[in-house]
Structure 1
Amino acid sequence: MGSRTGGGRNPRWSVPPGLRAEVLAARLRAARPPEFRGRLHDARTATVLGRWLGGALAVCFLTGLVSHYLQHPPGWLADHLPARPAWGYRLTQGLHVGTGLAAIVLLLAKLWTVYPRLFAWPPVRSVLHALERLSVAVLVAAGLFELFSGLLNIAEWYPWPFSFVPVHYAVAWVVAGSVLLHLAVKAPEIRAHWSRRSAGTLALPDEERDGPDRRALLIGVGAAVGAVTLTTVGQSVTPLAALDLLAPRHPGYGPQGLPVNRTAAAAGVTAATVRDWHLDVLGPRPYRLSLAELNALPQTRVALPIACVEGWSVGADWSGVRIRELMARAGAPRGAGLRVVSLEAHGAYRVMEMGRDYAEDPLTLLALRLGGEVLAPDHGYPARIIAPNRPGVLQTKWVARLEVL
């Protein structure tokens, strides 16, 4: 025992206290993160990429609002949603998905540019600096979640326990608010590096020397954005369908040349379900029609796109009976809306409502044929809704009942 407490002292504690502090300080200095001196991690590059990313996020956010309010309009807005232009939703949702995919590339490039700041030392310099870093963390986390959850949505893969639509909508507002806060905090730095002739940029001695490298990076990022866009936009811009390599839908693939998201089997609609089908129209003068009686009514043919929230859209020829004529026969007053009930056993859009602009539009049909042929089961046989400027999830299939509101 004596040898362990005397001559057997632990050499680690034999260092004098003063020297011990110096050794600890040296070790801390050695453990500090590396310094990043590359010009491509500078404020000028981050500002240029930030402009591109900001533009993509702005378009994505605004078109996302259009999509959300067309799908889930509050009561005060339902009767004021416009049915024209007929291709409006096709355009806005195509832009929404297209700019969202482009924003994924731009966000990753932006994060690569600024990631060395994660290793800044000390990590927090003041309370304001801590709040700034916290706001950036919220922005990055919300942005990554929003874009990648949207990517999984267009692939119709939902590996989470929550409902996608309300969460995606709520986080979109978090992203928008975080972007505005970030712009407010970083405004002086953004202004200083906005262009090559800005004050902060001119103060950089090696700006011209690093210009070619920066241009090469930006050209590479632009090429990546272009490649992603060209290989996905064909799902909504049909002249580019031949380049549609990465999109989840091809516009010409599916029964009767049209893609399908929800099949009759998935909706629980079988041959037995539609064997004795008839249409009930409820209003001041309710009535019932068989399929033969519907086919005997005056038929209208329209050319309308079917456009889905996943970004794909296809124009097609539809024929059937105008909704406003069916409503008038039921005694609907002018300006009435409509509730549509599907045969499907369950689903978030089994019951759909449309405002008066849609109900009165001459292009809105209870469609019985697609491309001159009777509707395929997966396209809603025996009858479905087709209306202008309308999300695909609201173009109700397997219609069983119309209710005048």
Structure 2
Amino acid sequence: MFDSALHEPRTAVVLGRLLGVALLVCFLTGLLSHLLQDPTGWVAGHLPSRPVNGYRVSQGLHVISGIAAVPLLSAKLWTVYPKLFEWPPVRGGSHAVERLGIAVLVASMLLELFTGLLNTLQWYPWPFPFRQTHFWLAWLAVGGLLLHVAAKGPLIARHWRRVGPAPAQRRAFLGAVTASVAAVTLVTAGQSVPWLRRTDLLAPRRPDLGPQGLPVNRTAAQAGTGATPAGWRLRVDGPRPYELTMDDILAMPQYEAELPIACVEGWSASARWSGVRVADLLARAGAPPSARLRVTSLEAQGPYRVMDMPAAYARDPLTLLALRVNGQVLSADHGYPARIIAPGRPGVLQTKWVALMEVL
């Protein structure tokens, strides 16, 4: 069953190059996503709020390259799988290191892509936290890949360039793999690439479907915020704390911004948001220019009920406490009575149902 002419180094190297590009894009954009979603230490103070579509592009590329890696990894494993069953399994120290790298690489990549695909569906049939596990699996995969490349370096170098015409069987196989990658990209990338929206046949989201023309991840019913408390007021804590009713907020200067909602699952959609500038609310509270902001939602519990915002975002004139979207008062699912919308941030940090803003 190992007698196919395609179980050979040249085919494996060609596929490895394509898979390497997909994995590199996926890894780097994933690191950026993790950093933006959970900024720590000195990095938090240096994250830029521009470009406006920065997170939309990087996270879209992350999911697109991850999905494209599925047929590439499948083809690569099929090409080399006879080597996975060679006997004896270990023939010395260097061979043991090579086999260890392969085991770590294959196991981590299969689990990484499997869990990543299910995350796009917001389905988590496992007991461990997805985001942290996904993050560390990526580093395991990179470590396994480096070990594998180091062990196979001479073989890869010998077959890096094509010598003579490629056999028809190899050309057909690589053409089929390329067509598969193009197909899965074409029918899923529309959830983040607007001009591919008409071909968005298999992606879990259509970015133009949902309340007020926008998708919703966490509904008001799920968050327990379907009914706004009577006498709702926005409290702003700082050197000069104060509270505002809805009428008070509406009496302030109103601004409008065209900004995207971009979520970690890969979908994104733009909308026209209007409300008051967060910078104006902070200035009224006597916040210094370097102050960070902490925003607390009305929802009783949830991993993103409390959100910290670095100063660069809080002071950006496009960052709004939004009251309306696309000309309509926010629905409960989109955060009524007020929500945060800021440029270049993950959707989970665009806090809905805002109750409290604290100057840090």
TM-score, length of structure 2 as denominator length: 0.98
3-state secondary structure, aligned to 2:294: strand
Give the distance between the partners of 2:87 and 2:252, measured in 1 at CA: 77
Tell me the CA shift for residue 181 of structure 1: 1.4
Correspondence 1:253 to 2:205: no
One-letter amino acid matched to 2:352:
K
One-letter amino acid matched to 1:90:
R
3-state secondary structure, aligned to 1:157: coil
Give the distance between the partners of 1:373 and 1:123, measured in 2 at CA: 65
Correspondence 1:274 to 2:229: yes
Give the distance between the partners of 1:171 and 1:243, measured in 2 at CA: 31
Q: 2:245 aligns with which of 290, 293, 309?
A: 290
One-letter amino acid matched to 1:359:
A
- Map of 1:133 onto structure 2: 99
- Map of 1:312 onto structure 2: 267
Correspondence 1:215 to 2:181: no
Q: 2:310 aligns with which of 343, 351, 355?
A: 355
- Map of 2:38 onto structure 1: 72
3-state secondary structure, aligned to 1:151: helix
One-letter amino acid matched to 1:215:
R
One-letter amino acid matched to 1:396:
T
Give the distance between the partners of 2:72 and 2:124, measured in 1 at CA: 24
One-letter amino acid matched to 1:265:
A
For structure 1, which segment, 314-323 or 112-121, has the greater mean C-alpha deviation from structure 2 after superposition? 112-121
Tell me the CA shift for residue 245 of structure 1: 0.8
Counterpart mapping for 1:152-301 below 5 A: 152-197=118-163, 208=165, 211-271=167-227, 273-301=228-256
Give the distance between the partners of 2:274 and 2:342, measured in 1 at CA: 12
One-letter amino acid matched to 2:271:
A
- Map of 1:51 onto structure 2: 17
- Deviation string 1:53-94 (CA, Å, 9 cap, x unpaired) is 000000000000000000001121111110000000000000
Larger Rg: 1
Correspondence 1:341 to 2:307: no
For structure 1, which segment, 359-368 or 173-182, has the greater mean C-alpha deviation from structure 2 after superposition? 173-182
3-state secondary structure, aligned to 1:39: coil
- Map of 1:302 onto structure 2: 257
3-state secondary structure, aligned to 1:94: helix
Residue-pair matches, total: 360
The Cα RMSD (Å) is 1.1
One-letter amino acid matched to 1:350:
R
Instruction: Please list every run of at least 4 consecutive aligned residues from structure 1 whose deviation after the TM superposition is greater than 4 angstroms.
Output: none
Give the distance between the partners of 1:193 and 1:331, measured in 2 at CA: 65
Correspondence 1:392 to 2:347: yes
Q: 1:61 aligns with which of 19, 27, 30?
A: 27
- Deviation string 1:241-269 (CA, Å, 9 cap, x unpaired) is 11111111101100000000000010111
Tell me the CA shift for residue 156 of structure 1: 0.3
3-state secondary structure, aligned to 1:41: coil
Give the distance between the partners of 1:259 and 1:270, measured in 2 at CA: 17
3-state secondary structure, aligned to 1:352: strand
One-letter amino acid matched to 1:309:
V
Give the distance between the partners of 1:191 and 1:306, measured in 2 at CA: 44
CA contact 1:294–1:321 (8 Å) conserved in 2 = yes
Give the distance between the partners of 2:230 and 2:71, measured in 1 at CA: 50
CA contact 2:101–2:145 (8 Å) conserved in 1 = no
One-letter amino acid matched to 1:252:
D
Counterpart mapping for 1:103-122 below 5 A: 103-122=69-88
- Deviation string 1:281-318 (CA, Å, 9 cap, x unpaired) is 00000000011111111000000011000000011100
Tell me the CA shift for residue 184 of structure 1: 1.0
Tell me the CA shift for residue 360 of structure 1: 0.6
Give the distance between the partners of 1:183 and 1:146, measured in 2 at CA: 19
One-letter amino acid matched to 1:70:
L
Give the distance between the partners of 1:68 and 1:195, measured in 2 at CA: 36
CA contact 1:274–1:382 (8 Å) conserved in 2 = no
For structure 1, the 5+ residue unaligned runs are 1-33, 203-207
Give the distance between the partners of 1:67 and 1:370, measured in 2 at CA: 25
Tell me the CA shift for residue 124 of structure 1: 2.4
Give the distance between the partners of 1:248 and 1:345, measured in 2 at CA: 28
Tell me the CA shift for residue 240 of structure 1: 1.3
Give the distance between the partners of 1:133 and 1:148, measured in 2 at CA: 22
Give the distance between the partners of 1:181 and 1:133, measured in 2 at CA: 9
